[in-house]
Each structure stands twice: as structure tokens, then as C-alpha cells.
Amino acid sequence: MPAATPPASPALPRDAASILELAARSMFDLFASASEGMVLVDRDARVVWINDQYRRFLPALGFPREEDFVGHPVSDVIQNTQMHEVLRTGKPMLIDVLSNRAGTFGVSRIPLRDDAGEVIGALGIVLFDQTSHNLQPLIAKFARMQQELHEAQQQLAAKRAGGRHGPRQARYTFASFVGSSPAAVEVKRQARRAAQSHSPVLLLGETGTGKELLAHGIHAASPRADGPFVSINIAAVPDTLLEAEFFGVAPGAFTGADRKGRMGKFKLADGGTLFLDEIGDMPPGLQAKLLRALQEGEIEPLGSNELVPFDARVIAATSRDLPALVREGRFREDLYYRLNVLPVRVPPLRERRGDVRALIEVLGEDMAHRGSPPPELSDGAIALLAAQQWRGNIRELRNVLEQAALRADADRLDAGHMEALLRQSGLAQVQPALPPEPAPQDAADLLRPLGKQIAELERRAIAAALKATGGNKLAATRLLGISRATLYERLRDEADPTKAMVNPDP
């Protein structure tokens, strides 16, 4: 690509100029293949080219087709970009952190010049993204700093606005949802897409998985971000008070009622987002009124005959099985379909074990911020924590870390200390640490007979299952989803090396 080749100085000998040109071309090819993505803009700051790696970011940025991205001003298609600044100043930005809809990235931006030294474009290089495991602690710290900055900006904006919404603002962003595992990246991708819609969102997941945090993030990334974020935990409010909490109370509606009346959560959320947590616990008598409010966009305060319009985007969340509640007649089917427009399943922690180390880092920083020094954990202790089932998910993990900080006698906890603490914390069954993942195989190793590779994989899986079940073969077969006859056959093959090669390929 000619634009990427620096001009040869007239003072350089011909062979030196050739070497310089070759070096520039080699560096470009190296970055094109080794980086996470590259984007090229012209002197007018329009995107003119992206490489294959960069194309995977387009759906998350909101562009399903490449032609909707290439040819447009870079500031219109990449949020928070600084490419136009590089074009204006002609100075490179060798290391920077970029955060947008697609995630958090380490980037470089380099101006490109013609033979006369004029800036004719700029090259953006994605050095690493949020899935880079070695950089998870760094990205986690950046996410926390970004969250604190966002909170400070919101508090300042609320003061300047005279406290119109007061504390009713989103406290978290998508960067606050820590994790770079495939499951975490996918749920954030779905949530970002949901943020651009005005339809109801239904967050489904076990307790402690971060549903409320995602609701805050959806609001903060939506066009309603400047409006209020109002939440109500339905399970925490007595049934007799829910209607008043939702729809408000007219002045003098009943004996003892406030003469000025009381505004309900729907009206408080006007122009913003209403988060209904634990929607599955809503009493049947109120479900019909909620359905009507969602369909008509208006509410009737308690003790009033007037209909009051409202404009609030609804995000609902539940840890319960709503389809089962519908089948049992405990949740209205029409309300379920009204809420289930954009369902987002929030994965449990046991499905994103690769995020445990980064979560421990962030939870530890939060503990330190609150005045409780976090425990220092060995790699073995972290591996043991990653292997647990975590029925309470991140909330339970936080509780165990806090208990470890209070109960531990040693400055650094190893796997043995952590196992004892897990048993003391009341964990029903402490799972053994998972074996480390095998090192990546090179091409020569992968070209071995397929039967041998399958047999090795089976042996490792059986050994791990037997270790996890304490040698109980029946329990191991259930974990592996195989019959006892198959297990015994594989164990016999392992005992007899001549039978270990199952159907080796020629």
C-alpha cells in the first residue's frame, strides 16, 4: 500500500532508501496479520479500508454490512475515535485506550504522509482487545476508573441541572460488567444492541449474575441516558403497597394519605428507564394493571379517576423460570410476551470461569476502597475458586473473599487455605481445582492420527471426572454423559496399551 510507505530522504543512498521502503512494507504486513484489526482513513477522515480482523467488530458497532461502514466519516462510525485529531495535528498516538460499543481496546494511530510531507491519511491499529487474557487486570482497572469517572460526571451534571433527577441516574456502564470470556462478551454485545432500541428488555439469569448492573449499562448507553433511571425490587415491597409504588397516590386518596399526593415509579421514570427487578414475584392482581400501563402508555394513580401519560422504557429482570410460571397460571401469558420482546440471558459464573481472576481483581479493589484489605491469593487458590459452582454467582464470590480477608491468618492464601475457608463458609461441596488447559498444539502435533488424539482426550476427561467424584465410577459416568459399560471399556483400554489407540487413522 503506497500510502503506508514513508518517503525516502534525498540524502539517503539508493540501497538505504530501498531498505527503508522494504522495512515500512514489512512492518505494515506484520501489523496487518498480528494485530486485532486495522482501519485506514483518508485526508478527509473518511474510512477507505479495513482488514479482515477488523470486520468482526462491525456488528457490535452497529453495522451489519461493510458498505455501511467503509466510505463514511470515521467519527460517525467509530465512537470516541481520535483519528481526526491525528489528521489535524499530524502527530501519532502510539498507545491509547479506546472504549466504545464494541468493547475496550488498546490502539495506535499513525499519520500517513506523501512525498512532500503532507498528511494524506491515518492508520488505526487495534493492538489488543478485551479478550486478551494477559491484560485482563489492566482492562479491569481501566473499567473501574471509567466507572468512577462516569459517576463523577453524572453527579456534576445533576448539580448543574439543579438536581432535577437527583440520584436517579445509572451508576454503571457496560465497562462495569467485568469479563472477557466468550459468554461475557456475547451478553454485552446483546445488551449494547438492546440499548439502541425503545422496546422492553427482559434480563434472565440466576441471582448475583449482574442483571441490575446490565440494566444500568443499557440505560447509560441508550438515547435516554440523560433521563432518570428508576428501579424497584418487586420482591422487597409488600403486595399491598406495590400498586401505590408503581402508579402513585392521588391527594387525599385515603385517610392518612399525603395531601399533596405521591408520585409513582412510572411517573418518576418519565423520559428515562424503569427497571422492574424480580418481575416474577409480582402478584397476579397487579399484573393486569401493569400490562395495561405498558400497552397504553398511561397510568391511573390510586384514588384518582384521571389517566396520566408517561414515557418510560421498561427493563425487567427475574431469576425465576417465567415460562414455567406461565404454564402454572402464576404469571400472565400476555404480560410475559409483552415483556419478552428483547430477552437477554445473563450467564452464571460457572459458565464464565475464565473471568474469575479479573473479577477477583475488581472485587479486591472495591474491598480496599471500602477499607477492607483484600486477601492475597496464589494461582492455586484462584484456580480453586474458578472451579466452584457459585450458586450465588458474583455475590457469593464477593462474600467468600470478604470472609477470607477476615478469617485468614496468613498474608498469602494457597489452595489448602482457600479450601478450608470454603468449607467454613458453608459451601455444600468444594469442587477440586480444574486441571490446567493443555498448551496449544502446533501443526505437527495436530497432524498425528486422529484416533490417538481422541483417545488422549478421553483419558484426560475420564481422569478429571474420577478425581472430581472421588473415584465414584457411577457419578463419573453421569458427569461425562456415558454408560458404565463405556467407562469400563475405556478403563480396560487404558490398562492395556495395545488397545488404547481407538480406530487410529491410517
* Predicted TM-score (pTM) of this structure: 0.59
Q: What is the model's pLDDT at position 258?
A: 55
Q: What is the model's pLDDT at position 124?
A: 92
End-to-end, the C-alpha distance of the chain in Å comes to 46
Residue 114's pLDDT band, with cuts at 50, 70 and 90, is confident
Give kind and range of the element (H or E) at residue 457: helix 450-468
The single-letter DSSP state of residue 461 is H
* Long-range CB contacts for residues 395-404, cutoff 8 Å, separation at least 24: 395/207, 395/208, 396/208, 397/349, 397/356, 397/359, 397/360, 397/363, 398/363, 399/425, 400/425, 400/427, 401/360, 401/363, 401/364, 401/367, 401/374, 401/375, 402/367, 402/372, 404/375
* In the chain, domain spans: 2-129, 137-347, 350-424, 443-499
pLDDT at 158 over 60: no
137-347 CATH: 3.40.50.300
Q: What share of the chain is helix, strand, coil (3-state, %, to 5)?
A: 50, 15, 35
Residue 2's pLDDT band, with cuts at 50, 70 and 90, is very low
Residues 228-248 have a mean pLDDT of 89
Q: How far apart are CA 247 and CA 304, in angstroms?
A: 10
- The more confident residue out of 387 and 425 is 387
Judged by DSSP in three states, 413 sits in strand
Do strands 37-42 and 412-413 pair parallel, antiparallel, or not at all (unpaired)?
unpaired
**Residue 437 one-letter amino acid:** E
pLDDT at 3 over 60: no
How do residues 363-422 score in pLDDT, each as one tens digit?
988 888 888 888 889 989 999 999 999 999 999 999 999 988 888 777 788 888 898 888
Rg of the chain over CA atoms, in angstroms? 28
For residues 420 and 375, is the Cβ–Cβ distance under 8 A?
Answer: no
- The more confident residue out of 70 and 135 is 70
Residues 335-355 have a mean pLDDT of 93
Q: What is the model's pLDDT at position 499?
A: 46
Residues 492-497 have a mean pLDDT of 64
pLDDT at 41 over 80: yes
Cell of 136: 485482563
Do strands 342-345 and 376-377 pair parallel, antiparallel, or not at all (unpaired)?
unpaired
- The more confident residue out of 469 and 81 is 81
For residues 455 and 449, is the Cβ–Cβ distance under 8 A?
Answer: no
Cell of 12: 539517503
- The more confident residue out of 313 and 36 is 313
Q: What is the model's pLDDT at position 452?
A: 75
* Long-range CB contacts for residues 329-338, cutoff 8 Å, separation at least 24: 330/284, 331/280, 331/282, 331/284, 331/287, 332/284, 332/287, 332/288, 332/291, 334/291, 335/287, 335/288, 335/290, 335/291, 335/294, 338/200, 338/291, 338/294, 338/295
Mean residue pLDDT across the chain: 81
Residue 87's pLDDT band, with cuts at 50, 70 and 90, is very high
Residue 500's pLDDT band, with cuts at 50, 70 and 90, is very low
Q: How far apart are CA 151 and CA 89, in angstroms?
A: 32
- Residue 379, phi-psi category: left (phi > 0), alpha (psi -120 to 50), beta (remainder): alpha
Could you give the percent of the chain with pLDDT greater than 90? 33
Cell of 99: 472504549
350-424 CATH: 1.10.8.60
Residue 355's pLDDT band, with cuts at 50, 70 and 90, is very high
Q: Which CATH class is domain 443-499?
A: mainly alpha
Centroid of chain to Cα 392: 18
Q: What is the model's pLDDT at position 165?
A: 41
Q: How far apart are CA 362 and CA 479, in angstroms?
A: 32
- The more confident residue out of 315 and 237 is 315
**Domain at 2-129, CATH homologous superfamily:** PAS domain (3.30.450.20)
For residues 108 and 99, is the Cβ–Cβ distance under 8 A?
Answer: no
How do residues 435-488 score in pLDDT, each as one tens digit?
665 555 555 566 667 777 777 888 888 888 887 777 888 878 877 878 888 888
